[in-house]
């Protein structure tokens, strides 16, 4: 990974300011939108539904899932990650369908020793096939405050963003035989769990249970621009068929403009630490076909 230059650090500071503007304007209530699914009391909804926390100790982690299922959406969540020595822990925040040929869109935050950076791990599964990992360091301390992690999922592309800055784009490549997540409705899931067999330095660094409980916090969920699937139909069907180009539904055809493309290049040049599309040793028969797309 290239060392960020002075101009890069200036850009990073600017992006933090931009990120503060990216906070959801109409945050939802966790009681309305999510169910705690496991953890035996280790997950809690607090502050009248404005805050959700997940905790992990040696006995168990915890998790939650959305009440709604979505088929395309622009989804934001603010997270503050486990502080201090978080080695061995994983905070996962993702969209997923069910079944053996599931679709999935992943953010995973791999903990580390105090003072060492978190690794942000991303992946896309389509029809049960993943192996599309890209990993990043972040240009800020994700444990010091809340930051917004966003997924834009429309029929043409999936864009992962942090504080409004795109870090990854996965384009629809069905034209060259690559399945794309577009037919299976997905729920939002999140969990905090122990993965010290692989999460930190390939499993060399284990979880220090004297630091438990480990806690991650969530606020300002927003899925106002999303297609909710209910009773066999999408909430977008009637409104988008006649007005998909209107401002309210512009996300359904949204793509990166030139400024966003420059930000994406900046992040990938300075903070990307793994890209499956450049790992020729992993794919001796040739890189996956979507890697040939510009």
Catalytic positions = 104, 108
Other CB atoms within a 10 A radius of the CB of residue 16 amount to 15
* Side-chain-facing half-sphere of 107: CA atoms under 13 Å: 30
Q: Where are the beta strands (DSSP E) in 57-117?
A: 62-66, 69-80, 89-96, 104-110
Three-state DSSP class for residue 190: strand
Other CB atoms within a 10 A radius of the CB of residue 32 amount to 10
User: How far apart are the C-alpha atoms of 32 and 50, rounded to whole Å?
Assistant: 10
Q: Which long-range contacts link 205-211 to residues 24+ away (Cβ below 8 Å)? A: 205/87, 205/88, 205/112, 205/113, 206/87, 206/88, 207/87, 207/88, 207/89, 208/85, 208/87, 208/88, 209/57, 209/58, 211/84, 211/85
Q: Indicate the angle between helix axes 258-270 and 6-21, nearest 10 degrees.
A: 120
- CB proximity list for 181: less than 8 A, separation 6 or greater: 97, 103, 104, 105, 124, 125, 126, 153, 158
Q: Which two tokens stand for residue 239?
A: 């409104």
Other CB atoms within a 10 A radius of the CB of residue 204 amount to 9
């Amino acid at each position: 990974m290239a060392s960020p230059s002075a101009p890069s650090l200036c850009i990073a500071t600017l992006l933090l300011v931009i990120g503060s503007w990216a906070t959801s304007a109409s945050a939802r209530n966790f009681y309305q939108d999510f169910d705690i699914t496991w953890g035996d009391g280790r997950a809690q909804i607090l502050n009248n539904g404005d805050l959700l926390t997940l905790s992990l100790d040696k006995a168990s982690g915890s998790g939650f899932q959305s009440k709604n299922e979505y088929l395309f959406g622009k989804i934001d969540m603010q997270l503050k990650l486990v502080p201090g020595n978080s080695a061995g822990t994983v905070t996962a925040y993702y969209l997923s369908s069910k079944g053996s040929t599931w679709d999935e869109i992943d953010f995973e935050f791999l903990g580390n020793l105090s003072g060492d950076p978190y690794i942000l791990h991303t992946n896309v599964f389509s029809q049960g096939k993943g192996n599309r990992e890209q990993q990043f360091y972040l240009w800020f301390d994700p444990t010091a405050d809340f930051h917004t992690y966003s997924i834009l999922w429309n029929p043409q592309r999936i864009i992962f963003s942090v504080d409004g800055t795109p870090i990854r784009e996965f384009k629809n490549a069905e034209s060259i035989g690559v399945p794309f997540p577009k037919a299976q409705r997905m729920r939002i899931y999140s969990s905090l769990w122990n993965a010290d067999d692989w999460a930190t330095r390939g499993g060399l660094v284990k979880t220090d249970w004297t630091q438990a409980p480990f806690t991650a916090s969530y606020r300002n969920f927003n899925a106002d621009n999303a297609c909710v699937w209910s009773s066999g139909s999408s909430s977008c069907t009637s409104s988008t068929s006649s007005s998909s180009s209107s401002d309210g539904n512009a996300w359904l055809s949204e793509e990166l403009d030139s400024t966003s493309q420059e930000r994406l290049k900046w992040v990938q040049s300075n903070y990307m630490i793994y890209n499956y599309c450049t790992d020729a040793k992993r794919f001796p028969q040739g890189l996956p076909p979507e890697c040939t797309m510009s």
